Structure 1
């Protein structure tokens, strides 16, 4: 059992306990959400600055993307508390900056977060989320383009007024737009998969070696390309990324692209890798475009893969249904005559080789034609289903095969069972059907009953399986002849004939 398989149920149990605790203590729940949201935001803020920012030049700003993922997974009634924690931490971290910059950063981040969160569908699993109608279009238009574009205006206005920064309005707006847009394109999908339970399947024990092997190889190749002297060979990563998308799905490809964003950002900011020869800040712009295309390419590939998997699953299920219909009776769900004949022939030959008995019981619903005429065909069908349920619950030993023989007749194959065993099971079955107390006013017993004929024999060379069926059928005829609602064998008829002859 893999580590992820062990952790997943514990996380679900912990999540359920937290929900119960929160419902009982709403004030403490609010405080906890504010504190946790603020703590997570603060840690992510520091990591983003140390990884993606150098000399006021940012490859991407992942904070908003991660925050949006958590918002999509959280009910909207908790969003105000999460925003409060985020605002408190951001104001605290930027307290030394001019007030207009602090306000513009905070307001723009919150606005950008809400634009993305309101325009994307709620998160209920990666597979369902990625197949939402129009997701890619909504993702590109609102979170990736319009959100950063709109919120960049007040930030650019505040920072361009700072004479110490020596930046003009439109270059700073472009810097904000590209950094936030790439951060959302890369890190929103990563956040989505990290908080989705489906991702655990990649790290289950049976999939762990494949997942680590593919991601590890991709990471090493990416690190080698972006930490070597400038050489324009970034395209070499595309075949690896497509392989990961097909083998590990959207979750694996999103993890791969974000690993690449980390190793490539360091190298590019230090003038290394495929884009290191390009003059700043255009080297960062080229890297951002490369990462954006890489991530957006994973969306249609993953959707095609999911649709292929769905098609294969539906085809397999349809085949299984057809196969089941071919061997089962559509009304009762028991095996049909064709299935019974096939298994009977196999068991007859096996019993002949091993010298074991084969038991059979023939079951007939007493006066069923009268029942059908009086109560109607729908009631007749329901009656047969009730009889089949009783047979199924009574004959439950592995290897036994109950089947519908035709019309109101049923048959049960019982390999390895002598006549005494068959008679015992048959009597239990007859009694259970009698206890159903299904009304049958045209019957002598006023309820639905069955007659059962039984026989068991050890197959001999030269004998046919049909001889066993004929013997059980003669037992059934004996039961009908002697008043119905009884279990009988061919021997009973022989004994009665001998008594009458004497």
Structure 2
């Protein structure tokens, strides 16, 4: 065994010995007092404190110390009997064992029920104590003790049982709480500097009131003790309440035993009835003090818990970079953390008492916030949303708010909202940059990298959309296909790099001729270009094609592989009235056939899908401007 373990065991042994000595002294003194009063009341015992004092010592100790404590208590009670009654025999020893049985039963049940940390503070613990130590244990010991009194002294069993039970129950109820507090050092709570100025005068007032009530014969004065006892129970808690009940019991029993007080002054009533009346009065005091102290102990615990929770909440809220906001159900701010000053420039005082709708939140975002608050209240589930808050300097920043209900601690009814607000302005800006980049990337994915006009993918998408639109509106849609004449020869003579330059130039010259935002120029493939012309008939498409042909021919870009000596184009155009169940491939096919005829007819010309004769070089004679 280590030296540290030996030291701990030694300390525990010393503590148990001190507790046993203190329990012996208190049990002995209370035994003397109770037995002395019994002699003055013709052997009627109104209250027996010794068991309550000994039970408190057993509950305050570890189980290994119980034999020592029970032995000390048994010897103390025997010694008190010998001194007061001047006798010792089998009956006294057996009665002493009944007292120890009562203490052991109560202590064992309470230890199993409540564990090592026995404490009477709290309504549930008090009721367990009353049920076990005040009701069950005295009843069990009373059965054995009453049988002994009946067979050894001839006392009727029921009479002995009632006498034993009421005396022991009152003794345990009044002595155990105070003695337990004394053993654990909790009685010092009454004498603390911060509470003694209030507690001591209250206990002195209760003592004085009890003395006055029991020095006069009127029963009516006894009712004046209850208000004083209630004040003591409310202000001093269960320890003060127990001390107050014990003071009342001591004074009442002593003065009644000396022949003073309302019970002793009753005429035409037997001493037994007077004793029972006194016991009932003390029981009423004990019950009253216990109930009130239990209720207010619970209230103190709840208040302490609420204060502690509020302290923790404020500590967390004030140390968080996020703004913590508590509001009522109408959205009126009840609490705002200091982070509001850092985030928004507003001090908490400037925001308290105002609602989300009246300031701070951008007016465009108020409906969404109100809808979120309503949804949280209806479902009871939290919501997260983003909105704009106004900084004190007038600017707006994006915030993310986590909304949830908070409820009353007792009724659990919703009483307001908790809103945790964090700045997401930088995140919002990053999202906007990402969105812009995505749109730019999407636009790049629809543009031909070489020429800068729309690619085939975008062409197919726009043609499909325009075809469906034309079906709904009943308007014609035209397509113009353009092919660079003898472009393979151009690449062979000048190289592919120069060929790329040529295609870029042609795309630019085609775009110059487009004046409507709805028209689309796209690279159809290789050296072919396509123009989608919504709401355009064939004549308008042919006129635009001719204008483009003239624009390119006027550039006179040298092309030795072209029989004309410079860059030229051929074009085919078509215009159709789309019908349901058809697709734009019909238009492509018609324009492609027209282009084929233009190329097979000598190139450098525009051919309509409806043309059956070859046009002269120089284009169509009848042109109609593009609508």
TM bracket, shorter-chain basis:
0.5 to 0.7
2:150 and 2:157 in contact (8 A); partners too: yes
Q: TM-score, normalised by structure 1?
A: 0.57
Instruction: Render the CA deviation track for 1:264-323: whole Å, top value 9, x for unaligned.
Output: 112223443232314311111111111112112222322221222233233334444554
**Residue 183 of structure 1, CA deviation:** 0.8
Q: Figure out how many residues of one structure are paired with residues of the other and give that number.
A: 329
User: Residue 171 of structure 1 aligns with which residue?
Assistant: 159
Match of 2:140 among 150, 165, 177: 150
Q: RMSD value over aligned CA atoms?
A: 3.7
1:344 and 1:230 mapped to 2: Cα distance? 63
**Residue 65 of structure 1, CA deviation:** 0.6
1:231 and 1:132 mapped to 2: Cα distance? 31
CA 1:122–1:74: 2 relative to 1, 3 Å = farther
1:237 and 1:186 mapped to 2: Cα distance? 16
User: Residue 308 of structure 1 aligns with which residue?
Assistant: 299
2:188 and 2:12 mapped to 1: Cα distance? 31
1:61 and 1:182 in contact (8 A); partners too: yes
Match of 2:64 among 56, 61, 77: 77
1:240 aligned onto 2:228: yes
2:238 and 2:293 in contact (8 A); partners too: yes
1:42 and 1:90 in contact (8 A); partners too: yes
1:57 aligned onto 2:44: yes
Instruction: Render the CA deviation track for 1:434-490: whole Å, top value 9, x for unaligned.
Output: xxxxxxxxxxxxxxxxxxxxxxxxxxxxxxxxxxxxxxxxxxxxxxxxxxxxxxxxx
CA 1:345–1:159: 2 relative to 1, 3 Å = closer
Match of 2:273 among 253, 262, 282: 282
> Structure 2 stretches of 5 or more lacking a match?
325-336, 351-421, 427-627
2:121 and 2:294 in contact (8 A); partners too: yes
User: Residue 74 of structure 2 aligns with which residue?
Assistant: 87
User: Residue 93 of structure 2 aligns with which residue?
Assistant: 103
CA 1:34–1:325: 2 relative to 1, 3 Å = closer
More strand by share: 2
User: Residue 32 of structure 2 aligns with which residue?
Assistant: 46
User: Residue 478 of structure 1 aligns with which residue?
Assistant: none
Instruction: Render the CA deviation track for 1:312-357: whole Å, top value 9, x for unaligned.
Output: 23333444455455544257999635258468999xxxxxxxxxxx
1:52 and 1:61 in contact (8 A); partners too: no
1:292-303 mapped onto 2 (5 Å cutoff):
292-303=283-294
1:15-26 mapped onto 2 (5 Å cutoff):
23-24=9-10
1:238 and 1:31 mapped to 2: Cα distance? 39
SS at match of 1:113: helix
1:130 and 1:303 in contact (8 A); partners too: yes
User: Residue 242 of structure 2 aligns with which residue?
Assistant: 254
If asked which structure has higher relative contact order (CA below 8 Å, sep 6+), I would say 1
2:174 and 2:242 in contact (8 A); partners too: yes
Instruction: Render the CA deviation track for 1:195-226: whole Å, top value 9, x for unaligned.
Output: 34443222112221211111111110110011
User: Residue 203 of structure 1 aligns with which residue?
Assistant: 191
1:329-408 mapped onto 2 (5 Å cutoff):
329-330=320-321, 336=339, 338-339=341-342, 341=345
**Residue 60 of structure 1, CA deviation:** 0.3
CA 1:240–1:204: 2 relative to 1, 3 Å = same
**Residue 35 of structure 1, CA deviation:** 5.4
Instruction: Render the CA deviation track for 1:126-179: whole Å, top value 9, x for unaligned.
Output: 5xx33263x34433333223322222233333334456xx74443233222221
1:112 aligned onto 2:99: no
1:177 and 1:52 mapped to 2: Cα distance? 15
**Residue 406 of structure 1, CA deviation:** 6.4
2:262 and 2:349 mapped to 1: Cα distance? 70
SS at match of 2:271: coil
CA 1:219–1:158: 2 relative to 1, 3 Å = same
CA 1:339–1:210: 2 relative to 1, 3 Å = farther
SS at match of 2:104: helix
